[in-house]
């Protein structure tokens, strides 16, 4: 090892063991290189882990189970759910790839997962931890509420439809804002949609208590339903009410219903040529792989083929909302090709894991829960699942713009006030590294320069 170090004691990619990896056996056993691989600098180990992950994903996509298994074994010697950013990412991506392989043996896969218990309380807890540890939901709620306040100025009866009603903090803040309105608060009705009745019961309890405390006339209308099964009658929209709709990280789940009859194209192998981790993420992942035509198409025809999505959007349009605010992940995880989804997910989740690395101690149990129960489960769904089971189908803002315009919505520019309030929130909480960009009246939230979430506002347009 001493012969591989530079004279000044520093290390570089060219003098590190990386350039010798192709000459070495990575099979475990006596004399295996794993001990000194673990001693590599974080940047070098991260680059090597990504190369191993992409190579392993290529084997999984090609159905080469034997080589994929060898790859997983190699990665597991370096990955760690409580290590640095890339070690943690590698741990969850290998779990996802292994799950996809296991699905080839349905009996084995079902037996392994037969005793798995999904707790509603744990699901709510991890989303609350995400709210606490990262500013994304706070920013979304703040910008959404500011847009609603501006759109509802002077309105005496306001109805809000929340397409995924699980976090009372957003509407408690809106109640407080309405209570200080110069003309007095409106009569406010919130229709909350969630498939778990007990979640809606908790929402009703918290919001009714806050409205009573603030002396605001208020009603909560719970709708226990999945969004894809939503019936318009359950929304109980009344004439004379000014309507706003809030959708936070929800609409993309409807896309699962639109590719049941589509076939995945042959997987394309990805080659790695970069010398640094940063180059790999910026160059190889974005340029070495050409996305499938379907995944990049924003043509009206391809958008119109999203039947379930368009049915729901058309239903919401018929309600004539004064405002609809949509928050979605700013990434493309809905490609047909497994490799496309793996590479795009690596970029997106590397930024999310890095957010937590910069602000939360590695030993934090809260951080580990968010990474495992939220990010890890999303990664698993993107990589291991297909068809209706694959509900994590994030798409970029440009596609949502086309889709919403086709459904008859017109864009509403988010105000400078909302952006200013969001900027102050970041400053007050000491959230360094987060940035917000205005794009054609929409807001994109970034970690460093990597876009992660988009917020756009819309209204129903009536045609004569």
Q: Is the pLDDT of residue 284 over 60?
A: no
Digit-coded pLDDT (tens) for 128-139:
999 999 999 999
Confidence of residue 364 (pLDDT cuts 50, 70, 90): very high
Averaged over 45-54, what is the pLDDT?
90
Q: Give the pLDDT of residue 264.
A: 47
Alpha helix (H) ranges present in 372-441? 377-384, 397-406, 416-428
Q: Is the pLDDT of residue 304 over 90?
A: no
Q: Give the pLDDT of residue 265.
A: 46
Measuring CA to CA, how many Å separate 118 from each of 106, 113, 121, 124, 313? 20, 11, 9, 11, 30
Percent of the chain whose pLDDT exceeds 70? 81
Q: Lowest-pLDDT range, 133-137, 173-177, 277-281, 419-423?
A: 277-281
More confident residue, 269 or 365: 365
DSSP 3-state of 103: coil
Place of tokens 């309507």: 243
Q: Give the pLDDT of residue 258.
A: 73
Confidence of residue 301 (pLDDT cuts 50, 70, 90): very low
Same domain, 313 and 412: yes
Q: Is the pLDDT of residue 272 over 80?
A: no
Q: Give the pLDDT of residue 39.
A: 64
Instruction: Pick the closest to residue 21 from 38, 37, 43, 1 (CA basis).
Output: 37
Q: Give the pLDDT of residue 400.
A: 96
In a domain, 224, yes or no: yes
In a domain, 273, yes or no: no
Q: Give the pLDDT of residue 134.
A: 94
Measuring CA to CA, how many Å separate 427 from each of 170, 420, 423? 20, 11, 6
Digit-coded pLDDT (tens) for 410-437:
999 999 999 999 999 998 888 889 999 9
> Which of 349, 376, 392 is the last residue before a domain boundary?
392
For 178, the enclosing helix (H) or strand (E) is helix 169-179
Same domain, 221 and 347: no
Residue 165's domain comprises: 133-257+305-330+394-463
Mean pLDDT of the chain: 84
Same domain, 191 and 63: no
Same domain, 165 and 309: yes
Q: Give the pLDDT of residue 115.
A: 81
> Which of 345, 375, 392 is the last residue before a domain boundary?
392
Quote the number of domains for the chain. Answer: 2
Averaged over 325-344, what is the pLDDT?
95
DSSP 3-state of 438: strand
As a whole number of angstroms, the distance between CA 315 and CA 230 comes to: 10
Task: DSSP for 179-216, please give it.
Answer: HT-TT-PPEEEEEEEES-HHHHHHHHHHHHHHHHHHT-
Q: Is the pLDDT of residue 320 over 90?
A: yes
Same domain, 459 and 346: no
- Torsion angle of the four alpha carbons 396, 134, 84, 339, in this order, in degrees rounded to the nearest 10: -20
Q: Is the pLDDT of residue 24 over 50?
A: no
Averaged over 77-89, what is the pLDDT?
93
Q: What is the CA radius of gyration of the chain?
A: 24
Same domain, 45 and 148: no
In a domain, 247, yes or no: yes
Highest mean pLDDT among 237-241, 284-288, 378-382: 378-382
Q: Give the pLDDT of residue 362.
A: 95
Q: Give the pLDDT of residue 5.
A: 38
DSSP 3-state of 234: helix
In a domain, 163, yes or no: yes
Q: Lowest-pLDDT range, 6-20, 127-141, 281-295, 417-431?
A: 6-20
Q: Give the pLDDT of residue 43.
A: 78
In a domain, 103, yes or no: yes
Same domain, 218 and 341: no
Same domain, 241 and 388: no
Digit-coded pLDDT (tens) for 129-171:
999 999 999 999 999 999 999 999 999 999 999 999 999 999 9
Same domain, 139 and 253: yes
Averaged over 442-453, what is the pLDDT?
95
Q: Is the pLDDT of residue 302 over 50?
A: yes
Identify the CATH number of the domain in which residue 194 sits.
Answer: 3.40.50.150
Averaged over 20-30, what is the pLDDT?
37
In a domain, 249, yes or no: yes
Q: Is the pLDDT of residue 112 over 80?
A: yes
Given CA atoms 317, 321, 322, 324 in this order, what sign does their dihedral have? negative
Helix 397-406 to helix 307-318 angle (10° resolution) is 60
> Which of 375, 392, 409 is the last residue before a domain boundary?
392
Same domain, 321 and 206: yes
In a domain, 31, yes or no: no
Q: Give the pLDDT of residue 445.
A: 96
Same domain, 200 and 314: yes
Phi and psi at residue 161, to the nearest 5°: -105, 120
Q: Give the pLDDT of residue 303.
A: 56
Same domain, 145 and 165: yes
Contact 415, 146 (CB under 8 A): yes
In a domain, 122, yes or no: no
Averaged over 192-214, what is the pLDDT?
95
Q: Give the pLDDT of residue 407.
A: 94
Confidence of residue 460 (pLDDT cuts 50, 70, 90): very high
Averaged over 77-102, what is the pLDDT?
94
What six digits make up the tokens of 304? 């119109």
């Amino acid at each position: 090892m001493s012969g591989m170090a530079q004279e000044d004691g520093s290390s570089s990619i060219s003098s590190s063991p990386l350039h010798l990896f192709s000459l070495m056996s990575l099979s475990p056993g006596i004399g295996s290189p794993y001990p000194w691989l673990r001693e590599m600098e974080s940047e070098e180990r991260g680059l090597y882990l990504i190369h191993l992950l992409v190579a392993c994903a290529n084997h999984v996509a090609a159905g080469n189970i034997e080589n994929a298994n060898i790859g997983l074994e190699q990665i597991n010697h370096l990955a760690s759910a409580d290590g640095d950013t890339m070690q943690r990412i590698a741990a969850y991506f290998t779990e996802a790839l292994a799950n996809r392989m296991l699905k080839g043996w349905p009996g084995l896969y079902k037996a392994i997962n037969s005793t798995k218990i999904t707790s509603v309380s744990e699901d709510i807890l991890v989303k609350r931890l995400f709210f606490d540890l990262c500013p994304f939901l706070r920013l979304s709620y703040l910008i959404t509420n500011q847009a609603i306040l501006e759109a509802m100025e002077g309105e005496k009866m306001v109805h809000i439809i929340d397409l995924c009603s699980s976090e009372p903090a957003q509407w408690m803040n809106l109640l407080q804002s309405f209570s200080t309105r110069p003309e007095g608060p409106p009569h406010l009705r919130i229709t909350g949609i969630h498939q778990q009745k007990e979640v809606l019961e908790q929402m009703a309890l918290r919001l009714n208590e806050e409205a009573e405390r603030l002396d605001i006339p208020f009603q909560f209308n719970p709708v226990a339903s999945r969004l894809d099964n939503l019936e318009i009658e359950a929304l109980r929209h009344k004439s004379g009410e000014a309507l706003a709709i809030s959708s936070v990280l929800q609409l993309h789940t409807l896309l699962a219903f639109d590719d049941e009859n589509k076939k995945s194209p042959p997987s394309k192998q990805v080659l790695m040529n970069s010398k640094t981790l940063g180059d790999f993420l910026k160059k190889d992942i974005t340029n070495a792989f050409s996305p499938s035509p379907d995944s990049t198409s924003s043509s009206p025809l391809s958008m119109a083929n999203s039947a379930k999505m368009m049915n729901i959007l058309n239903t919401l349009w018929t309600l004539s909302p004064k405002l609809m605010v949509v928050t979605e992940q700013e990434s493309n995880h809905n490609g047909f090709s497994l490799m496309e989804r793996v590479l795009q997910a690596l970029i997106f989740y590397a930024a999310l894991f890095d957010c937590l690395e910069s602000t939360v101690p590695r030993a934090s149990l809260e951080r580990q829960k968010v990474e495992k129960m939220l990010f890890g489960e999303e990664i698993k769904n993107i990589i291991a699942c297909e068809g209706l089971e694959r509900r994590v189908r994030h798409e970029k803002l440009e596609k949502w713009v086309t889709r919403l315009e086709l459904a008859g919505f017109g864009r509403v520019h988010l105000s400078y006030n909302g952006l200013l309030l969001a900027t102050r929130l970041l400053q007050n909480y000491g959230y360094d590294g987060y940035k917000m960009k205005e794009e054609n009246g929409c807001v994109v939230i970034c970690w460093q320069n990597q876009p992660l979430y988009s917020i756009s506002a819309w209204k129903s347009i009536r045609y004569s």
